[in-house]
Chains A and B, each alone.
Chain A
Amino acid sequence: GENVGLHLPTLSVQEGDNSIINCAYSNSASDYFIWYKQESGKGPQFIIDIRSNMDKRQGQRVTVLLNKTVKHLSLQIAATQPGDSAVYFCAETWIGNQFYFGTGTSLTVIP
């Protein structure tokens, strides 16, 4: 399943499928990006980060892709599990500044 930008704030995927969550960031000066996962009743938790001198970074079951040309960030989750159900936020920042967050995408994994 795939979400495009902020126009589709919800995403439902079948367990075991891959998920793609997209984010359009706003500032071309942003040089550091983070994906956060927020479960109900908890604060945002760090998933993966990427600096602007990279275009791809992989973690455990997650991959972040950065396209600076179009100011686009995506989070790919492989073999999505029920525990992945949460709201996912991308955040951007540049030196000395705070993090700016997107609206978030609610991911629901269907068993």
Chain B
Amino acid sequence: EAGVTQFPSHSVIEKGQTVTLRCDPISGHDNLYWYRRVMGKEIKFLLHFVKESKQDESGMPNNRFLAERTGGTYSTLKVQPAELEDSGVYFCASSQDSRSDLGTEAFFGQGTRLTVV
């Protein structure tokens, strides 16, 4: 079974440009999460989808970030316009059930390294 896949693996763009990151979760996982790790810092939550609905987007830094999950399958994260501080590694994760009483782990993709110059 394929794991969580992310595309592209690396993107270098100029400040002011637009970038779209894509995440394909594990098939059948209703929960999809976006996280970001800025150099040397912790992995920070951005948002959480349950199927196609945004369950929690409290971590989205500002309105330059837009996440979608059409049909509850893959998800995209668009940054428009990109700023220098947006550089970092963007991780996507999926899980089967978000209720922690089931102890369901989140599986992570390999990440997209975004560099804004």
| A interface residue numbers (CB < 8 A to B) | 31-32, 34, 36, 41-46, 49, 51, 89, 91, 93-104
Residue of B nearest to A100 (CB): B45
Which residues of the partner chain B approach A42 to less than 8 Å between Cβ atoms? Answer: 110-111
**Contact, CB under 8 Å: A104 / B98:** no
Q: Which residue of B lies closest to A46 (CB)?
A: B105
Instruction: Specify which of A32, A34, A96, A103 is in contact with B42 (CB 8 Å cutoff).
Output: A103
Judging by beta carbons under 8 Å apart, are A44 and B99 in contact?
A: no
Is A99 in contact with B33, judged by CB distance below 8 angstroms? yes
Question: CA separation between A46 and B106, bound complex, in Å?
Answer: 8
Binding site for A on B (CB under 8 A): 4, 6, 33, 35, 41-45, 48, 55-56, 59, 91, 93, 98-101, 103, 105-111
**Nearest 3 A/B pairs, CB to CB:** A43-B108, A32-B100, A101-B43
- Residues on A with C-beta less than 8 A from B93 are 43-44, 99
In the complex, 15 of the A-B residue pairs with CB atoms within 8 angstroms, ordered by the A residue number, are: A41-B110, A43-B4, A44-B91, A46-B107, A49-B105, A51-B100, A51-B103, A96-B100, A97-B56, A98-B33, A98-B45, A98-B59, A99-B45, A100-B45, A101-B43
- Evaluate contact between A49 and B103: CB separation under 8 angstroms: yes
Q: How far is the CA of A59 from the CA of B48 in the complex (A)?
A: 29
Q: In whole angstroms, how far apart are the Cα atoms of A97 and B95 in the complex?
A: 12
Contacts of B100 in A (CB 8 A): 31-32, 51, 93-97
Chain B: which residue is nearest A50 at the CB level? B103
A46 to B100, CA, bound (A): 15
The answer to whether residues A98 and B101 also contact, given A43-B109, A103-B41 and a CB cut-off of 8 A, is no
